Amino acid sequence: MNIGVIGSGSWGTALVKILTDNHHDVIWCVRSEKLAEHIRARHHNPKYLSSVYFNSQQLEITTDPAQVYEKANAVVIAVPSAYAEGYITPHLSQVLKGVKIISAVKGMLPSQNMLLNEHLAGIEGFNPANYVTIMGPCHAEEVAGEKLSYLTFAGINPEVTASIAACFKTSYINTVLSEDVIGVQYAAVLKNIYAMGAGIAHGLGYGDNFQSVLVANAAGEMSRFLRAISGEVSSCVNYSSSVYLGDLLVTCYSLFSRNRSFGNMIGKGYSVEATKLAMQMVAEGYPASKCIAALNEKVRADMPIATGMYKILWEAEDPIKAFEKIEAVLI
């Protein structure tokens, strides 16, 4: 299988490492010609996971997404959710011919309040069986260190999903298959919001005891929302498995979590804009909190934690007052 990867951040870089370690030839679309020249000459990404070196014989570098779609029969989208549509819509002719879309996007399209596959499903001629999503729990930094990690691959066609997952299975990556395409993606969206909450709590000075209660309640809140949004599939899903609860835990507690780091700065008194400037990385929980708030106006799941995060991040509610309200409803 010829595989393309679009995205040169830490997660895109990690996925390229996994694929090339597994002896797949990859065409990789990166952000700029300067970065492309550096990777061609020095065989590593100088900005993200710079300790990872690539075999140049297995890697073609480009800055043109069209080349990826022309040469690959499966394309990994590993860019922030706000930019994902822009890397697919101009290339729909190739997508509609059968190029498989492998989404590594851990957010929602903020302009539409929907998941990437939901957007694609609205395009005439798109085959939903050609969409597979990759979810964690899996930090890019631990992939760089080859620490054992698990990736969940979700798609509606088991054969397609299994063939994609096989490309990523290595000595340090175990793969799990799922048919809960909607649920695993919303779980990834929600865990980023809750990780911001964990970070805000830490920044405000709450201790481990409170944070354990916060995260336990977040798990229950996530389950309520997923059951409400997923419909019948929820009855056969185990929400305590790694792609749901596991990803929530690692994102809320890990020092690698950019969403937790974002929240920590908010808790310490930084404004949203100052935090965005200081981090210089996209924390998906920020736009996701607005998307989920809009969705929940229709779903009406009981979500006091996610609602509190939305009010802090988008309505400038005082984090101290917001957490006082959250304290009152935790069990």
210-256 per-position pLDDT tens digit: 999 999 999 999 999 999 988 755 556 788 789 999 999 999 999 88
Q: Are 16 and 26 in contact (CB under 8 A)?
A: yes
Average pLDDT of the chain to the nearest whole number: 94
Least confident of 40-54, 96-110, 153-167, 224-238: 224-238
How buried is residue 280: exposed, middle or buried, by Cβ count under 10 Å (0-12/13-18/19+)?
A: exposed
What integer pLDDT is reported at residue 237 of this predicted model? Answer: 75
- At residue 227, φ and ψ (nearest 5 deg) are -65, -40
Extents of the domains making up the chain? 3-179, 182-329
pLDDT above 60 for 126: yes
List pLDDT tens digits, range 132-181.
999 999 999 999 999 999 999 999 999 999 999 999 999 999 999 999 99
Burial class of residue 46 in the structure, from the number of CB atoms within 10 Å of its CB (0-12 exposed, 13-18 middle, 19+ buried): exposed
Q: What is the value of pTM for the model shown?
A: 0.94
Q: Indicate whether 66 pLDDT > 60.
A: yes
Q: Which residues are catalytic?
A: 191
Which amino acid makes up residue 112? Q
CATH architecture, domain defined by 3-179: 3-Layer(aba) Sandwich (3.40)
| Domain topology for 182-329 | N-(1-d-carboxylethyl)-l-norvaline Dehydrogenase; domain 2 (1.10.1040)
Contacts of 250 (CB under 8 A, 6+ apart): 136, 137, 139, 257
